[in-house]
Amino acid sequence: MPRHLLTGEELSRDDLYGLLDRALELKAAPRSSDALRDSVVALVFEKPSTRTRLSFEAGVVELGGHPMILRSGEMQLSRGESVKDTARILSRHVQAVGVRTGPDAVLEELAAEGTIPVFNMLTAGHHPCQALADLLTLRETFGRLEGLKLAYVGDGNNVARSLAILGATAGVEVAVAAPAGYQLEPVAGAVLTGDPAEAVAGAHAVYADVWVSMGDEETAGERRAALGPYRIDDALLDRAAPDAIALHCLPAHPGEEITAEVLYGERQRIWDQAENRRHAQKALLEWLVADRQNGY
């Protein structure tokens, strides 16, 4: 049976720490692995992308593989072909498929009907590849994960959910501060609050995401009004641990969810975080596709 990464819950603690160890090795020597030599990895984009496309496409090439970019309008899925049939066709031509889409059910059906690894490049419910890069950034910054605290401030969305799931696996306390109507549903191990100051107290990292995500444009004004008190600025960072860093999955809107002073200042690791998408995902691709010669 192929391995999949749909939500992050597929990873055990040992799996997760193994992936992060391998990501650090690959970051130190980006061209050291040809694990995807003679492999084709399909990357299906039904939603716009900058960091996800850049990091996956470059990462597949660095591992010796060929990234096949597929956009929704170029596939028969857009004309009514079933996910089931698409899964069967993909399985005959490529060694793995990543999908950036809306419904989680699309990935679940691809995984159930195909015979190749399926990985989540973003859905409405989850963004596990982003969380892998975030944990890698914390590991680089603090030298550990166990016992750290991460405070997510803003809309309790797919990014917050993935941080809560994988943070619990890693031993990171995750606190999510969001207003009523925007809070994450209970996730084991996560602390939920409506108070940003309470969430960031003692936190090693304070995390923001956009207030208006793809698909939320019709309620943009309402969302900005509700989320206004959840902006990351220097005053909020001052309530965290003395060495706290700011994180953001990008794209950012300076003056909304984060101030320009924090986004471009010395108290953040946001640009390292963006680069770490590639390294963490390369380790993931090895885990999903390659021979298990490294003991995964």
List the catalytic residues: 100, 127, 130, 209, 249, 277
For residue 262, what are the contacts with CB-CB under 8 A and spacing of at least 6? 232, 233, 234, 237, 246, 268
Angle at the Cα of 277 from the Cα atoms of 5 and 154, rounded to 5 degrees: 85
Q: Nearest CA to 244 among 254, 232, 255?
A: 232
Computed over its alpha carbons, how large is the radius of gyration of the chain?
19
Instruction: Give the max Cα distance, the chain.
Output: 54
Tokens of 44: 């299906």
Spatial separation of the C-alpha atoms in residues 219 and 180, rounded to whole Å: 15
Question: What stretch of H or E contains 13?
Answer: helix 13-28
Is the previous residue joined to 251 through a cis bond, with omega within 30 degrees of 0?
Answer: yes
Helix (H) or strand (E) holding 278: helix 270-289
CB under 8 Å to 180, separation ≥6 — which residues?
194
Q: Are 128 and 8 in contact (CB under 8 A)?
A: yes
DSSP single-letter state for residue 268:
B
> What would the two tokens of residue 75 be?
């596939």
Look-up: residue for tokens 């960031």? 200
